[in-house]
Amino acid sequence: MMKGLYSALLVPFDKEGNILESGLRQIVRQNIDVQGIDGLYINGSSGENFLINTEQKKRVFEIVKDEAGDEIKLIAQVGALDLNESIELGKFATSLGYDALSAVTPFYYPFSFEEIKYYYNAIIEATGNDMIIYSIPALTGVNLSIQQFEELFENEKVIGIKYTAADFFLLERIRKAFPDKLILSGFDEMLIQAAISGVDGAIGSTYNINGQRARKIFELAKQGNIQEAYDIQHETNDIIEQVLALGIYPTLKAVLSAKGIEAGEVKRPLAPLDNEGLEKVKSLVSKYNL
């Protein structure tokens, strides 16, 4: 089963934008051995996927599978504006043994729902793998309705949704209508609300550094220990608030670097942290024992 907590994997780059392969392996191990996650979501937003080329995406899939083997679940995000690239990546990840694919809803052009449906069905047909729809309206501008989710679910290979939205009414409607579909929540700062809403798990960038707290929030909320879960969510959100203020991906990488991991830089045009930012990261790491 694909339920559980997944880190949206960070990918380390050098200053020229090349992947630091040994650092990538260290981040995978950190997630498995220290953060205790159930799986990884590879080449999503947190992997800076939309800033790298096809060969780099394939190399990330390859290294992660080689390092993680069958220890955890692996979801390959293959969504792209070039459908041929999505299919190529989907076939590649499937041949490596990835447990499922995921694809962001196509963005930039105002695609019709028929076009979006065509995109998902084409990737599934070409790869034969399971598909998790990656819905993140704040970044894509694509808001799928419950009826549209239903239509996508008509393809049995669409096993679920990565739901990165704060619309808890829609989430409740989806949960009630599709009790057997997988729903993985995408906003780490709203994990408790998502858990109470009945999601099957979550995918998050901050779980690369804060996976143990996320586990407690999720399990306590599922057991109905809401106050205890909320106490940890409050502390978690103190961390997330500061991480967001500094810049999410460079800050998460700086936290990993402070722990001795070769987490590298973000890929330009994303900007690195300045010295003041790096000092703030040091206090964050020691204050919250990250």
Q: What are phi and psi of 285, to 5 degrees?
A: -60, -45
- To ligand SI3, the closest distance from the beta carbon of 219 in angstroms equals 19
Contact between 251 and ligand SI3 per CB under 6 A = no
* Residue 134 annotated among the catalytic residues of the structure: yes
Nearer to ligand SI3, 240 or 256 (CB): 240
Task: Give the interface segment with ligand SI3, choosing from 37-45, 83-91, 215-223, 261-269 (CB under 6 A).
Answer: 37-45
- To ligand SI3, the closest distance from the beta carbon of 222 in angstroms equals 19
Nearer to ligand SI3, 26 or 251 (CB): 251
Q: Which of residues 180-239 bind ligand SI3 (CB under 6 A)?
A: 186-189, 203-206
User: Is 164 one of the annotated binding-site residues?
Assistant: yes
**8 A C-beta contact, residue 102 and residue 78:** yes
* Residue 222 annotated among the catalytic residues of the structure: no
Token pair belonging to 254:
């700086």
- To ligand SI3, the closest distance from the beta carbon of 184 in angstroms equals 9
Q: What SS3 class is residue 75?
A: strand
Question: Residue 97's CB: how many other CB atoms inside 10 A?
Answer: 10
- To ligand SI3, the closest distance from the beta carbon of 258 in angstroms equals 19
198: left (phi over 0), alpha (psi -120 to 50) or beta: left
Q: Which member of 162, 163, 253, 267 is catalytic? A: 162
26, 30, 35, 45: which one binds ligand SI3 (CB under 6 A): 45
Q: What is the 3-state secondary structure (H, E, C) of 92-107?
A: HHHHHCCCEEEEECCC
Q: Which of residues 259-288 bind ligand SI3 (CB under 6 A)?
A: none
- In terms of Cβ atoms closer than 10 Å to its own Cβ (0-12, 13-18, 19+), residue 262 is middle
Q: Which of residues 132-171 bind ligand SI3 (CB under 6 A)?
A: 164
Contact between 44 and ligand SI3 per CB under 6 A = yes
CB-side neighbour CA atoms (13 Å) of 274: 1
Whether the bond between 269 and the residue before it is cis, its omega within 30 degrees of 0, is: yes
Q: What SS3 class is residue 72?
A: coil
Which chain residues interact with ligand SI3 by CB under 6 A?
A: 8, 41, 44-47, 164, 186-189, 203-206, 240, 244, 248
The binding site for aceneuramate comprises 45-46, 164, 186, 188-189, 205
